[in-house]
Amino acid sequence: MQALGRHVILELHDCDRKRLSNCEFLRETLLEACRRAGATILGNSFHVFSPYDGVSGVIIIAESHLSIHTWPEYCYAAVDIFACGDSLHPERAVEFMVQELKAGNHSVTELKRGILKSLVFNE
């Protein structure tokens, strides 16, 4: 069976609180994570929430997207990496994100998305 994409779910705990609330730092960190993974960057959008300065952001890539949602008050970040095809290396992005957010602990879950039993196309 073949999958159309990989969805990597990264849970980051015990992160640096200041980094989790710094929107520009997070934008640059996600952009660099994309580059390290070999992604083709198309655009991005980020937003800061009050009163805790949590940040939500997404990088749109030709292969799909990377997103982050932070809760500085809990020193927690949720990162999703969705990649279609086989050219992306999400593990490189994961390693970089763990390092840059100074996560005390983390977990990674990978899902195969769009599992196909065969590649038969209807015309």
* pLDDT tens, position by position, 73-99: 999 999 999 999 888 999 999 999 999
d(CA 83, CA 45): 18
d(CA 60, CA 39): 10
Give the CATH number of domain 5-113. Answer: 3.60.90.10
Confidence band for 1, pLDDT divided at 50, 70 and 90: low
* pLDDT tens, position by position, 42-61: 999 999 998 889 999 999 99
**Residue-level pLDDT at 3:** 84
Query: Do the Cβ atoms of 22 and 42 come closer than 8 Å?
Result: no
d(CA 9, CA 29): 17
Enter the pTM of the model.
0.89
d(CA 122, CA 119): 10
Write out the catalytic residue numbers.
Answer: 64, 69, 84
- State both tokens at 100: 């840059």
